[in-house]
A and B are shown apart, each in its own frame.
Chain A
Amino acid sequence: MDPLTVLLVVLLSALSAILYIFIGILPGTDETATMAPILLTLLLMGVDPLLALVWFAASIAAFKMADSIPVALAGIPGGVMAVPQVPDALTAKDAGLADTILRKGIASSVVGQFVALATTLTISYYLMPLGDWLRATDEVLPNVKVARWFWILLIGLLVLALTSRNKGLALISIPAFALGVQGLRAVYGRSVYISFFLGITIGPMMFELLSMLHTELKKTYERKGLKEIKLAKIGKIPLNPLKILTREEVAQSTLWSAVTSILATVMSPVGLTILIGDLLRESKKDKVRGSVLAYTVRDAVKNATYIGGTVIPLLVIGQPTGPMAAGPAMPFFQKLENLGMSARDYLVTHYDYLTISLSLIGASLIAFLIAYPILVKYSRKITVAVFRRVPAEALYGLFIAIVIMLSYYDARIAGVFGTLIISIVSGALWKLGVSLGVLFMTLVAAPTLVAILMGLPI
């Protein structure tokens, strides 16, 4: 790696960490909606995929560390992944332990990220030779060739559908949504991707927004007065992370980070965070101790699943086989016109394994060196400043503007309307209890799924 690249790695990691500290603290910032468009923009701008990966690793480190800050202080999640932490945070807050969970969450994020990097980079190294075998195709029906990785994707898709709140609808929406996507692609006459991806991303927000065009539905969204946020006071927090976590918390965070980082290859990060936290909380007789342990380990699992869900599909399989890869990390897997291939393929053909690994570790290290002291020392001040200064309207307006611009870039004015229809369908399915991950993964599986459907003799 030349000195300029090293300098860019440091600069981009630092910039990403600072940006995602604020995005993480902001309430209601969905991970895919905030991470994927920025990553996609960087790649479309012509930023080297290795530097985009560095940006992404640093954003995971800072975002997943910061999104639990408003949970600990006010019971408000800074991102979707922080939602499972809310009940435990409220229990701890009632027991006067807001500052305890705040510092434990920050410290266990560091544990989660590095344990996941060590685990998944080691596993990926040994599994990489399997990549060619996974990318080979078999003829499963007359004239229907299916790549072997598709079956891993399908398993992940079915697991995710079966863990959705509305299992039945999630299952039947898979072929239906795939047909809709392929139908639109046929109308466009080319394999449009970005507009559909962004449509799913902003689906829940657009669905709520468009519901307000209906007089009766609009009333259900009405709220009088300002939104009251109760912010807990916190004491001084030691800067040394080793003084923050108990031996049990370190052991549990390490164990579950390693396990969940692998499982996230096909499983949902949110689902795993809920599952592990609930298991640990129930293992303690004392409710408060159980909640503190669950909160702490969940913070580690958040970072671990995001890292694992990206690294293994990226380095071994080469296809987005899980909700993380098919969500926030999806831009790495799509063919980009400016590269002539996907960013993932560019990465593995232009850089060796050691360079990629060191870049991921370096980016995480730099992100934590910036985010950790800032959040330990100033988390409350930043939270207050963000809550008092950044209006939701300005932030949502920014997201929508970027989505419109990228949709136009993808398929001109038809792309904008493609995004609209996909977002309405996605938002409605989400509202009815279908995980957005199911839709992201269906988007990836759509060409093969439809080919199989059309090839069936029934």
Chain B
Amino acid sequence: MGDEEVFYELYGEYVSLREFGVATLISTILALAFYFVSPYVANLIGVPSAGLSITLGAVGASVGFFISVFLTRVKRVIKEV
């Protein structure tokens, strides 16, 4: 990654729009996939699906976050002063 690569400042952080899109897509797909699978899981384990859908959706989004950490790069450079 060259020092002169162009990024975009979003909410005080430098981001690559392509990486941001990839991370958002992964987390969203996993969140919704887990969310939609939840009624079948709830049926399987015999619990109400309402609460489980949010739980599994949040788990899916978190899995997406951990995958994204490896697929995206940090745009900060730390200098000791």
Contact = CB atoms under 8 A, between A and B. Distances in A.
Interface of A: 27-28, 30, 41, 44-46, 76, 204-205, 208-209, 212, 218, 221-233, 337-338, 384, 387-398, 400-402, 404-406, 408-409
Given A398-B64, A405-B35, A409-B54, A392 B27 contact: no
A388 B58 CA distance: 25
Contact of B65 (A204, A388, A394): A394
Interface of B: 1, 3-17, 19-20, 22-28, 30-32, 35, 48, 50-55, 57-58, 60-62, 64-65, 68-69, 71-81
Which 4 pairs between the two chains have the least Cβ-Cβ distance? A397-B23, A401-B27, A392-B13, A394-B68
Given A401-B24, A401-B27, A229 B79 contact: yes
A397 B13 contact: no
B14 A227 contact: yes
A393 B65 contact: no
A212 B10 CA distance: 10
A28 B24 CA distance: 17
Given A223-B8, A230-B79, A387-B78, A406 B54 contact: yes
A80 to B, nearest CB: 10
Given A227-B75, A338-B51, A400-B24, 7 more contacts: A28-B13, A212-B17, A224-B6, A392-B11, A396-B11, A397-B65, A409-B53
B73 A401 contact: no
28 contacts: A28-B12, A41-B54, A221-B8, A226-B14, A226-B76, A228-B76, A233-B80, A337-B50, A387-B76, A388-B74, A389-B74, A391-B73, A394-B69, A394-B71, A396-B11, A396-B23, A397-B27, A397-B64, A400-B24, A400-B27, A401-B24, A401-B61, A402-B31, A405-B28, A405-B31, A406-B57, A408-B35, A409-B54
A41 B61 CA distance: 12
Contact of B80 (A224, A225, A231): A231
Contact of A232 (B5, B54, B81): B81
Contacts of B35: 405, 408-409
A223 B78 contact: no
Contacts of B55: 41, 45
B5 to A, nearest CB: 7
B69 A390 contact: yes
Contact of B62 (A27, A218, A225, A398): A398
